[in-house]
A and B are shown apart, each in its own frame.
Chain A
Amino acid sequence: MHAKPIRESGGDRAFNVVNYIMLTIVLIVVLYPLVYVVSASFSSSYAVLSGKVWLWPVEPSLDGYKAVFKNKNILTGFQNTFFYTVAGTFINVVLSILAAYPLSRKDFRGRNKFMLLFVFTMMFNGGLIPTYFVVKDLHMIDTVWAMLIPTALSVWNVIIMRTYFQTTIPGELLEASQIDGCNDFRFLLKIVVPLSGPIIAVIALFYAVGHWNQYFNAMIYLKDPQLYPLQLILRDILVQNEVRIDMLGDVKSAAARQGLRELLKYSLIVISSVPLMLVYPFVQKFFVKGVMIGSIKG
């Protein structure tokens, strides 16, 4: 991208060296905690407890993972989270398209007023307690709907999508289709959606991450442990340190139990984070596009 001079000056070479060193430091600072967690999760409970793990697994074992998969609550949490993520993201994407497409059309009467109505909600929030009462009055408390409907739409994502529609769907295409007798429903379904693969992928990922990592709504809206998402169970174990003895199987001594408890936490962190980590490299290339579109003033 940049023009290459024939030979770099001494100052520029020094700059390169400093630059690479700094970036390597950043790389290590970000990466080390992640590597440590993975290594710890594959070590023995004794090695974890006695602080022998520094970089690579020590006395490799799968005890932590075995303990995780034996646990019914965690498995239920996984199932619930999976359901909330898939169903929730589907609702999100559909609603976002439904909102963004009309707003992207210049001939949509009152679109500026609707836009203002939407954007205003980003600047002024209804607040926790009033929102809670709306969810309560709709009888969604302690149902799966509480995990899907209150977060059904993010105005920010609607704006990103609208900008994408405006910049990538040519007006001529709409005119041509209209002349051929295509109505708006068909045009949206047959032309706009197929042409918007990248943005739908990005938006879906943003929403999916939100659902997968959601704990707060679950905490205030759900009471039945059978409905708990994974994050809420993680919170009990990782943050509140509530590891029940029966999660640890037939381990007798207090020290071994303590060790397995720590090991379980590391394994749980790995398992709960792996699904998103697997998805994101595939969608990563669309990111820059998505983030960039979001920054354009619409």
Chain B
Amino acid sequence: MQLRTLTDVRKGWQLYALFALPLLYIIVFKYVPMFGNVIAFKQFTVTKGMFGSPWVGFAHFERFFNSYEFWRLLRNTLSISFYTLIASFPFPILLALGLNYVKHERFKKTVQMVTYAPYFISLVVVVGLLFQFLDPRTGIINSFLGWFGVDPINFMGQAGMFQSIYVWSHVWQNVGFACIIYLAALAGIDPSLHEAAVMDGASKVQRMRHIDLPGIMPIAVILLILNTGQIMETGFEKILLMQNALNLRASEVIDTYVYKIGLVSQALNFSYATAIGLFKAVIGFVLLIVVNQTAKKVGQESLW
């Protein structure tokens, strides 16, 4: 017995040694920044440092809530997120359901192969593609519209179109990749269910409706929960690339604003930017908890 415990400790020591480096990383690059958020409650200046800067309480938060930007940022963030969430939810499911009934392996493989591909293209290139296609003078979309006598449209310069361009290019890029998980879930459905349904004379539509759809429901709900919890996270790296002075009204979200206030602006304000970022993180965290608890209550799947 004594010997057993001793070996346990020795073995444990080796596992800890392996684990040390990743743990150090998580602490330094994830937890230290979390505590770095205290500068949101201070008037931080680089010369005085994190500890020397004076406390200001919730002053930065109050300033943000009362600022002209607040509602606009919140509205843009939420509308882009919800738009993305709603637009990108059904398509991977439909694609997977459709692919599941394709008998020609080659055709199925081709569709999968092609639809996965955009996932690997960088955001910079996707936005570059958008600019090329939507260019008022040389873009193919405007050349096409020109055939019907439509005057060239400066798509990227129109605030009203920004969110649609953002969301639908997102769907284009991600639909194939997002569909993988549903295909895998469909493959996991017991084939005897389908056999029995066929014996009973069920049509393909009926099988889809009553076997496939319930079969992928749990995974769909989990993904929906996850995505709803991420509602404050806009794809801000892409938004930043797509932004210009003309569409700023519709494209400025919390994340891009934090970036500008904290790292780009002529008059950098670290504390103010951190406060806005912290506000976003807290709301996002609370949302995730609430959505998960709600899903648990209604008896659906939950994350934990």
Contact of A126 among B19, B30, B114, B133 (CB under 8 A): B30
A and B contact pairs by CB, cutoff 8 A, 18 listed: A2-B191, A3-B191, A5-B198, A9-B203, A23-B111, A30-B117, A114-B23, A125-B281, A127-B258, A131-B29, A153-B25, A213-B122, A238-B132, A265-B128, A266-B132, A276-B121, A277-B117, A288-B180
Tell me if A287 and B180 are in contact (CB < 8 A). Answer: yes
B153 to chain A, nearest CB (A): 15
Q: What 1/0 mask marks residues of chain B from 1 to 26 whose CB sits below 8 Å from any chain A CB?
A: 00000001001101111110111011
Contacts A1-B187, A216-B240 supplied; 14 other A-B pairs, CB < 8 Å: A3-B199, A12-B203, A26-B111, A37-B132, A101-B15, A127-B36, A127-B258, A128-B259, A133-B270, A184-B18, A213-B122, A262-B132, A288-B180, A288-B183
Residues of B within 8 A of A215 (CB): 122-124, 237
Whether B12 and A27, one on each chain, are in contact in the complex, defined by CB atoms closer than 8 angstroms, is: no
> Nearest 5 pairs between A and B by C-beta?
A126-B33, A238-B128, A130-B36, A99-B22, A213-B122
Cβ-defined contact, A212 with B122, below 8 A: yes
A 1-57 contacts with B by CB, 8 A: 1-3, 5, 9, 11-12, 15-16, 19-20, 22-23, 26-27, 29-31, 33-34, 36-37, 48-49, 51, 53-54
User: Is A188 on the interface with B (CB-CB < 8 A)?
Assistant: yes
Determine whether the beta carbon of B29 is less than 8 Å from that of A291.
Answer: no
Q: How far is the CB of B72 from chain A (nearest CB, A)?
A: 20
Q: Which of B62-70, B82-90, B95-103, B158-166 contacts A (4 or more CB under 8 A)?
A: B95-103
Closest to A269 in B: B125
Q: Which residues of B contact A178 (CB under 8 A)?
A: 11
For chain B, give the interface size range. Answer: 35 or more
Task: Say yes or no: is B79 at the interface (Cβ < 8 Å to chain A).
Answer: no
9-residue interface stretch from A68-76, A105-113, A165-173: A105-113
Interface string of A238-268 (1 = CB under 8 A from B): 1101000000000000000000001001100
CB distance from B261 to the nearest CB of A (A): 9
Chain B nearest CB, measured from A102 CB (Å):
4
**Are B28 and A134 in contact (CB-based, < 8 A)?**
yes
Contact surface of A with B, Cβ cutoff 8 Å = 1-3, 5, 9, 11-12, 15-16, 19-20, 22-23, 26-27, 29-31, 33-34, 36-37, 48-49, 51, 53-54, 95-96, 98-99, 101-103, 105, 107-109, 114, 117-118, 121, 123-134, 138, 149-150, 152-153, 155, 158, 178, 183-185, 188, 209, 212-213, 215-216, 220, 231, 234-235, 237-239, 241, 262, 265-266, 269, 272-273, 276-277, 280-281, 284, 287-288, 291-292, 295, 297
Q: Would you give the shortest CB distance from B274 to chain A, in whole angstroms?
A: 5
B175-196 Cβ-contact flags toward A at 8 Å (1 or 0)? 1100011011001000100110
Interface of B: prevailing SS: helix
Q: Is B205 an interface residue, CB under 8 A from the partner? A: yes
CB-nearest residue of chain B relative to A100?
A: B22
With A129-B277, A272-B125 already in contact, the answer to whether A184 and B15 are too (CB < 8 A) is yes
Is B45 engaged at the interface, CB distance under 8 Å to the other chain? no
Roughly how many angstroms separate A3 CA and B198 CA in the complex, as a whole number?
Answer: 7
Closest chain A residue, CB of each to CB of B285: A124
Q: Tell me if B80 counts as interface (CB < 8 A to partner A).
A: no
Whether B39 sits at the interface, judged by CB under 8 Å, is yes
Interface centre among B19, B123, B140, B270 (most CB of A within 10 A): B19
How many A-B contacts are there with CB distance less than 8 Å?
A: 265
Q: How far is the CB of A72 from chain B (nearest CB, A)?
A: 19
Q: Which residues of B contact A95 (CB under 8 A)?
A: 21-22, 25
- A133–B124 contact, CB under 8 A? no
A292 to B115, CA, bound (A): 18
A105 touches B274 (CB 8 A): no
B288 CB–A CB distance under 8 Å: yes
A276 touches B33 (CB 8 A): no
> Given the complex, which residues of A lie within 8 Å of B95, measured CB to CB?
23, 26
Q: At the interface, yes or no: B136 with Cβ under 8 Å from chain A?
A: no
Question: B118 contacts which chain A residues (CB < 8 A)?
Answer: 30, 34
Question: Contacts A126-B32, A128-B262, A129-B263 known; A23 to B204 CB distance under 8 Å?
Answer: no
In whole angstroms, how far apart are the Cα atoms of A277 and B28 in the complex?
Answer: 34
Chain A positions within 8 Å of B262 at CB level: 128-129, 132
Residue of A37, A129, A209 contacting most chain B CB atoms (<10 Å): A129
CB–CB B124/A239 < 8 A: yes
Chain A residue, CB-CB nearest to B112: A284
Which of A30, A123, A152 interacts with B114 by CB under 8 Å?
A: A30
* A-side contacts of B121, CB under 8 Å: 213, 273, 276
The answer on a CB contact under 8 Å between B181 and A101 is no
Query: How distant is A133 from chain B, measured CB to nearest CB, in Å?
Result: 6
Chain B residues in 8 Å Cβ range of A292: 181, 184
Partner pick for B36 among A23, A121, A133, CB 8 A cutoff = A133
Known: A126-B32, A131-B29. A280 touches B120 (CB 8 A): yes
A185 touches B29 (CB 8 A): no
| A108 lies within 8 A of B15 (CB) | yes
Q: Is the CB of A130 within 8 A of B263?
A: no
With A3-B194, A30-B176, A238-B124 in contact, is A98–B22 under 8 Å at CB? Answer: yes
Residues of A near B116 (CB, < 8 A) are 280, 284, 287
For B101, what are the chain A residues with a Cβ–Cβ distance below 8 Å? 15-16, 19
In the assembly, what is the distance between CA of A34 and CA of B36, in Å? Answer: 43
Of A99, A149, A262, which is within 8 A of B138 by CB? A262
In the complex, how many angstroms separate the beta carbon of A267 from the nearest chain B beta carbon? Answer: 12
